[in-house]
Amino acid sequence: MTYLKKLIIKMVGRERIEFIRSKPVIAHGKYRNIIQDLEKYSKIIQNNNGSDPDMALLLVRKFGHILDKGLHRTDAEKGHSLEIVNELVKNISIAEQYYQDDETLKWAKNKLELYNNLQISLKINSLEEETGNITLSFNDFEVLIKKRRSNRQFHSKLIETEILEKLAATVNWASSSCNKQPIILYATTNPEIAKECLKCCKGGTGFGDFIPAFISFTADMRGYYLPDEAYLPAIDVALGAQNFFLASETLGLSNSGLTWAQKGEGDELKLRQLLKIPLQNQIIFNSVIGFPSKIYATPVRKNIINTIVIHK
């Protein structure tokens, strides 16, 4: 059956088969743009599958995470998750040709070793980890999130590269689908380039003349199964960006997020050129960051009764 399936795909073509299976309909122009974007990323994934070490490393984290979850189960048994293991082994062999010292690659190899041990001994040691007590109180954290602002007036003070790198390190500690950690930041600390980047964003008005730094929050699309996971890149990036935004506040910095929903084709092309963003990275949204010269008044938030519904 597998051979017949491959033969049919080769004769007819994968794109034609997918077109027929999708039950094609007439779509609004805006929806067609979204579909074209997904098809663009799908082709990039197909063209790189099996040869790209960066893509392989994303998949190592993905399949390593899936395997890890299985190893934490109390009913883990011999021979289970063999398909996941095969995918993990394949992508490790591709990734390690370039990323020999990557920590997540070492982590995935360790999970694979634990799995292989399970096949022999039929038991596995506890994978629990000792953690220290969290000293940050809920009240302190609540103050932090309530003080966060999207200020748009900044002091004429440059941001050091080391500060952005320090903040960028926080994004990978956020939750992400299957631990892929797909978020990649493209930034400039050159105020003149930052101002040009800002022009690519719709609705980016009301800023002062000095733009200290501009950041594009992107997702490496090579780790996603499209179109099924079309929404996951935005979720993964948003979770990481929240870490970045809150951490910025602790250093006296302020981020102002900029929507990318109304982007034009020319806007995207220009921003990719300015920040050298590769085609495999989907731009989710952008941000301007700096030391605020004005702290905006606190906006009113909706009531908790309109936020959560609890069934008992």
* 50 pLDDT higher than 80: no
pLDDT of residue 100: 84
pLDDT of residue 162: 96
What's domain 138-290's architecture?
3-Layer(aba) Sandwich (3.40)
Higher-confidence residue of 107 and 33: namely 107
Looking at the chain, which runs of residues are DSSP E strands? 183-188, 213-220, 254-258, 281-290
Query: 296-311, pLDDT tens digit by residue?
Result: 888 899 999 999 999 9
pLDDT confidence of 159, banded at 50, 70, 90?
very high
On average, the pLDDT of the chain sits at 88
CA distance 292 to 159: 12
- Per-residue pLDDT, averaged over 86-92, amounts to 95
CA distance 292 to 77: 56
Total count of residues recorded for the chain: 312
pLDDT of residue 285: 96
- Its pTM stands at 0.87
Q: Give yes or no for a contact between 178 and 62, defined as CB atoms under 8 angstroms apart.
A: yes
Residues of CATH 3.40.109.10 domain(s) within the chain? 138-290
CA distance 243 to 222: 23
DSSP-derived secondary structure for 216-263: EEEEEGGGS-TTTTTTHHHHHHHHHHHHHHHHHHHTT-EEEEE--TT-
